[in-house]
Amino acid sequence: MTDRAFSVVRAGALTTVQDLGRPGHAHLGVPRAGALDEPAHRLANRLVGNPEGAATLETTLTGCALRVRSATTVAVTGAPCPVTVDGAPAPWGAPVHVPAGAVLDAGPATHGLRSYLALGGGIDTEPVLGSRAADLLSGLGSDPLTDGAVLPLGPVHGPAGAADAVPHPGPVAELVLPFLPGPRDDWFSDHGLRTLATGRFRVSPASNRIGLRTEGPPLERALSGELPSEGMPLGALQVPPNGLPVLFLHDHPTTGGYPVIGVVPERHLAPAAQAVPGTPVRFLPAGRTGR
């Protein structure tokens, strides 16, 4: 194994290799996958001099710890967390020099859910359909990290990038999800549509990379039948029989038989990656400007 590698000291609750995903394969039943908080992923790569599409690590809630085999520049973005190198404090949201043999530890998120670790050269696991992203639904890409695993790094692309300030929206006090109604909003009663736009929802603990599940008032349907399976886009608001909307995220199935009441445009999805269970959720139909 080349010295351009790292070993996993602490894998954390769920840490996966992610990049910008593998779009364009839905006709094969392959989800897009990729980093849920794409802006945080892109920023981490920029800070270490990688192309935006280089593979990073996406951690969940508890962070992870790595021992690098050669001196490496690392940056941690996304959910803020304590960062240390061999126990000494290091900055979050900035390039960090990690000497050969040292341990970089990205600790538990202080708020938010997912942090992103970029290492100079990017994680050089074997690509599948043009992407290194781990897809937890289909099983494509690398498995989630485990303690003791060794992952390769690619060649360094360039010097670490500079940033005068690292943008971060702060804690997600309320997740506001603008959506375009349809294509199956006519399967819901007027009362059901009003409930979606005005009801008090919150993020369910059952949420994951496949979908953000909600708790709250069920949506009343006008039609009681079921649909044949049809294509499901990223950001679809699918409503299963319990009446509670599910926001499809990057590992979502490419087809489904429950009605889609609306679709959240991709540019509004990144905050969903950082919304912890219990976070209030407000659905905002197109054409409304909010309170």
List the CATH number of the domain containing 278: 2.40.100.10
- Pair 122, 35 in one domain: yes
- Decide if pLDDT at 165 tops 70: no
Residue 158 lies in a domain: no
Q: 274: pLDDT confidence band, cut at 50, 70 and 90?
A: very high
Better pLDDT: 233 or 2: 233
- Pair 203, 275 in one domain: yes
**Largest distance between two CA atoms of the chain:** 63
* pLDDT at res. 79: 96
Residue 276 lies in a domain: yes
* pLDDT at res. 160: 74
Residue 208 lies in a domain: yes
Q: Which tokens go with 100?
A: 């050969």
What is the Cα–Cα distance from 241 to 227, expressed in whole angstroms?
12
- Decide if pLDDT at 208 tops 90: yes
- Decide if pLDDT at 69 tops 90: yes
Tell me the backbone φ, ψ of residue 45, rounded to 5 degrees: -65, -40
Better pLDDT: 236 or 28: 236
Residue 228 lies in a domain: yes
Q: 162: pLDDT confidence band, cut at 50, 70 and 90?
A: low
The pTM score is 0.94
- Pair 89, 38 in one domain: yes
- Pair 141, 230 in one domain: no
- Decide if pLDDT at 129 tops 80: yes
Average pLDDT, the chain: 93
208 Cβ contact partners less than 8 Å away, ≥ 6 residues apart: 136, 251
Residue 165 lies in a domain: no
Residue 166 lies in a domain: no
Percent of the chain at pLDDT above 70?
Answer: 94
Q: 159: pLDDT confidence band, cut at 50, 70 and 90?
A: confident
Of 93, 118, 152, the position where a domain reaches its end is 152
- Average pLDDT of the residues in 51-71: 97
- Pair 130, 47 in one domain: yes
- Decide if pLDDT at 291 tops 50: no
Least confident of 101-110, 130-139, 152-161, 211-220: 152-161
Domain count, the chain: 2
Other Cβ atoms less than 10 A from the Cβ of 108: the count is 14
Q: Which domain holds residue 265?
A: 175-285
- Decide if pLDDT at 260 tops 60: yes
